[in-house]
């Protein structure tokens, strides 16, 4: 499945996957065959960063 293009929808989508299926961003990216920057850059544009401790973008 392709990642959502809208950053707000991407945020919700990724955080749901991190909560329900994957133990880390690295694991999620590997499973989806995407680069971390494909997720981190659009989310940084709306002031969200990945928090390893909580395994979510905040």
Summarised one tens digit per residue, pLDDT across range 8-52 is: 999 999 999 999 999 999 999 999 999 999 999 999 999 999 999
Write down the domain spans for the chain.
Answer: 7-57
Task: Give residue 44's pLDDT.
Answer: 98
In which band, very low, low, confident or very high, does the pLDDT at 6 lie, cut at 50, 70 and 90? very high
In which band, very low, low, confident or very high, does the pLDDT at 53 lie, cut at 50, 70 and 90? very high
Tell me the average pLDDT across 4-10.
98
Quote the pTM value.
0.94
Cβ(55)–Cβ(15) under 8 Å? no
**Which 3 state secondary structure label does DSSP give 17?**
helix
């Amino acid at each position: 499945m392709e990642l959502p293009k809208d950053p707000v929808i991407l945020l919700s989508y990724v955080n749901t996957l991190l909560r329900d299926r994957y133990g880390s961003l690295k694991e999620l990216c590997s499973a989806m065959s995407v680069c971390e920057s494909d997720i981190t850059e659009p989310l940084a544009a709306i002031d969200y960063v990945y928090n390893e401790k909580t395994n979510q973008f905040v």
